[in-house]
Homo-oligomer: A and B are copies of this chain.
């Protein structure tokens, strides 16, 4: 069988061929330069096919029921006519060790549905690298007609900040809770949320969930106004019984309408594109430096001298930069920051 051409990939993706879409994502995740080159050409073409999508980040502490929530929310979205893609950010997963979405049985019904596409998180050495590829995967999924992208993340801090730079709307799931105000969820993550939902509001936890809802809503008053002008709301739901799930849908739709009409929605997407340009630039610039043969040859020795105090960090840095830039005729002068 002939290898697919760029045009084969593009045709397959825009005609919603899941197999081709999956293969294109695999190319994106590949570290081989020829795969990367091909993937980038496909990506460029896909940028012109983006749908009128909404990208939703979903986070919460382990045990809050993220996958049950995503299954219920995704099926509900499909029932309302959406095409749903589920991606994940989980830099801690490694090849062979599986990832937070590796086990598709976690979302048994959704993963079988013809209008859903579930893709486990690619393993990666850096959170920035994983998040960048997830961002590119979003564009491919959108070109394939998926108009609701759910990005799941483990609730541990850094990955939420990365997800925030990928999505339009950020949903934080909470447990019916304990008096401790924010359940160990970092304040910064609560501040990023547009929609908060106390999950597992069923059975004998329903009352507690209501009380938690009020407590969180009060706590939110202490936060400053968001750049979007949107006032975050706390709802209760049960992903198991389905109670409250429709209200969450409505609130997210309200968020979309609100931010689209005040211009924030587009402004945020443009700002995210800008952010990723600089993030990618600086990551690859550093990679070029640390992968340079001369730098690799001398870095450890210079580091040892700096640590021993026989060389200043400034002079050590200048020597390494000179080695890196030596190929240039014009030479390199240390520049001010």
Interface hit among A9-17, A108-116, A252-260, A300-308: A300-308
- The count of residues in chain A whose C-beta lies closer than 8 Å to any C-beta of chain B is 65
Q: Is the CB of A47 within 8 A of B281?
A: no
By secondary structure, the A interface counts as: helix
Q: Is the CB of A288 within 8 A of B40?
A: no
Q: Is the CB of A335 within 8 A of B288?
A: yes
Q: Which B residues lie within 8 Å of A320 (CB)?
A: 281
From 105 to 143 in chain A, residues with beta carbon under 8 angstroms from any chain B beta carbon are 124-126, 128-129, 132, 135-136, 139
Q: Is the CB of A317 within 8 A of B280?
A: yes
Q: Which B residues lie within 8 Å of A273 (CB)?
A: 306-307, 309, 313
From the candidates B36, B270, B314, name the one contacting A132 in the complex (CB within 8 A).
B314
From the candidates B287, B303, B327, B336, name the one contacting A327 in the complex (CB within 8 A).
B327
In the complex with contacts A274-B306, A321-B285, A314-B280 CB distance below 8 A: yes
Q: Is A92 an interface residue (CB 8 A)?
A: no
Q: Which B residues lie within 8 Å of A316 (CB)?
A: 277, 280
Q: Is A231 an interface residue (CB 8 A)?
A: no
From the candidates B36, B47, B307, B321, name the one contacting A274 in the complex (CB within 8 A).
B307
Q: Which B residues lie within 8 Å of A317 (CB)?
A: 277, 280-281, 284
Q: A33-B334, A125-B336, A281-B289 are in contact. List 13 more A-B contacts (CB 8 A).
A: A44-B315, A128-B337, A132-B314, A136-B312, A277-B302, A281-B317, A281-B320, A282-B286, A283-B337, A287-B335, A287-B336, A288-B325, A291-B335
Q: Which B residues lie within 8 Å of A50 (CB)?
A: 309
**How far is A273 from B31 in the complex, measured between Cα atoms in Å?**
33
User: Smallest CB-CB separation from A187: which chain B residue?
Assistant: B187
CB A238 to nearest CB in B, in angstroms, measures 33
User: Smallest CB-CB separation from A330: which chain B residue?
Assistant: B327
From the candidates B43, B129, B270, B327, name the one contacting A329 in the complex (CB within 8 A).
B327
**How far is A18 from B288 in the complex, measured between Cα atoms in Å?**
43
